[in-house]
């Protein structure tokens, strides 16, 4: 290895997909990125985008994730569209793991003990953790000598105090089943809160920051002097603000009420809450905010209602977290909707006048770039800060591997 430069392969493994980026730890440049889709399903395809070269689409059978990982390595080392000579030039792998439970408050180098602990959290994230584990095991099979790191979505939120993570339920459920608030998108909340402080020329330890990660899934967090003290998602990523297809927080009694009226099972109700609710459920148009905005512009009343309910739910959490921290210095908008929805940010900002904050229409006219979007006179800074979870995972992987070696 020249100097301290490492090539870090970042893997984000879903149940039938695998996203990857190869990042140079020194320059933080993305050497290549890609996506394997429809793993274990007919019509699987790998889209590989090497830096400075044409995108390549490889349509080939991927019966499982191990085959997918092998194809990714082949694509990265290919003589035509590859970016490294051989597997030896991949120095470490950073894996996104959705749920770390209470066991992990930071990233860790993966060993058998860590794998067992991740498996224990499968109950808490049945859609995500088993897929994350498959990704890790597939990489171990193909690259047995390459060190691997797990970076957890829940880790950043482990600094929450007990008063924030306990639910108003019998304490026995916490003791027996670890039912509590965990929160998600932690890698993003961590990265964006640190970047927000950097843009403002301060350290995170000097500030009270609220991060609004608004994508198809969305969550808000309160970061008080560098530590997360509260976040809107809960035991699962279903709680909190209204999302693309998820209901967010509702009266828990609704579940039993609908189950009885519609004669459906709790499992079916769970699917409705996760996949058929949110702005999709209200608007009956789409889970994509761009489609809903277009429909609202065409006077679709339900599309308008969905957008207004969404903006309102975000504004309420900002208010709640300002109270939780007894003040706020900066509010950052990030992820797909937060970074790109100009009118959405303006609508949410309308609720924040009591904070003495004011959005600057001209500065807010921006998509996907770091920028302060509030006026000079604004008492609280509003920012657009693109998230970069892959880079955050690569940085944490580099830090751990450097210490270990």
Catalytic machinery residues: 153
Give yes or no for a contact between 91 and 397, defined as CB atoms under 8 angstroms apart.
Answer: no
231: nearest Cα among 253, 205, 209: 209
Q: Quote the CA–CA distance of 60 and 247 in Å, as a whole number.
A: 37
**Whole-number Å distance between alpha carbons of 67 and 22:** 18
**In this structure, are residues 129 and 118 in contact, taking their beta carbons and an 8 Å threshold?**
yes
CA 290 to chain centre: 20
What backbone torsions phi and psi does residue 21 show, to the nearest 5 degrees? -140, 140
Of 280, 118, 310, the C-alpha closest to 220 is 310
């Amino acid at each position: 290895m020249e100097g301290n430069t490492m090539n870090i392969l970042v893997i984000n493994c879903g149940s039938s997909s695998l996203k990857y980026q190869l990042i140079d730890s020194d320059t933080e440049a993305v050497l290549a990125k890609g996506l394997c889709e429809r793993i274990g399903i007919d019509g699987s395809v790998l889209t590989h985008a090497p830096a400075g070269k044409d995108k390549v689409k490889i349509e080939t059978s991927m019966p499982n994730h191990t085959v997918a990982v092998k194809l990714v390595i082949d694509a990265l080392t290919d003589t035509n569209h590859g970016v490294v000579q051989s597997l030896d030039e991949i120095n470490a792998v950073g894996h996104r793991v959705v749920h770390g439970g209470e066991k992990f408050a930071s990233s860790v180098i993966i060993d058998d003990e860590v794998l067992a602990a991740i498996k224990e959290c499968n109950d808490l994230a049945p859609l995500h953790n088993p897929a994350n584990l498959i990704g890790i095991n597939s990489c171990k099979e193909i690259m047995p000598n390459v060190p691997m790191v797990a970076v957890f979505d829940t880790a950043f939120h482990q600094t929450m105090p007990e008063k924030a993570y306990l639910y108003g339920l019998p304490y026995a459920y916490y003791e027996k089943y670890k039912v509590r608030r965990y929160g998600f998108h932690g890698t993003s909340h961590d990265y964006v809160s640190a970047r927000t402080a950097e843009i403002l020329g301060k350290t995170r330890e000097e500030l009270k920051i609220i991060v609004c990660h608004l994508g198809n899934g969305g969550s808000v967090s309160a970061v008080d002097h560098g530590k997360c003290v509260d976040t809107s998602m809960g035991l699962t990523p279903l709680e909190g603000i209204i999302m693309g297809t998820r209901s967010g927080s509702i009266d828990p009694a609704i579940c039993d009420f609908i189950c009885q009226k519609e004669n459906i099972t709790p499992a079916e109700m769970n699917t409705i809450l996760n996949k058929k609710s949110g702005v999709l459920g209200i608007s009956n148009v789409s889970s994509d905010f761009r489609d809903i905005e277009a429909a609202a512009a065409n006077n679709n009343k339900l599309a308008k209602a969905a957008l207004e309910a969404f903006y309102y739910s975000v504004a309420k959490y900002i208010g709640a977290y300002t109270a939780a921290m007894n003040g706020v210095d900066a509010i950052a908008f990030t992820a797909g909707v937060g970074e790109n929805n100009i009118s959405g940010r303006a609508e949410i900002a309308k609720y924040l006048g009591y904070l003495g904050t004011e959005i600057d229409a001209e500065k807010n006219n921006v998509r996907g770039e770091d920028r302060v979007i509030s006026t000079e006179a604004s008492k609280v800074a509003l920012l657009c800060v693109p998230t970069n979870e892959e880079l955050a995972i690569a940085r944490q992987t580099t830090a751990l591997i450097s210490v270990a070696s």
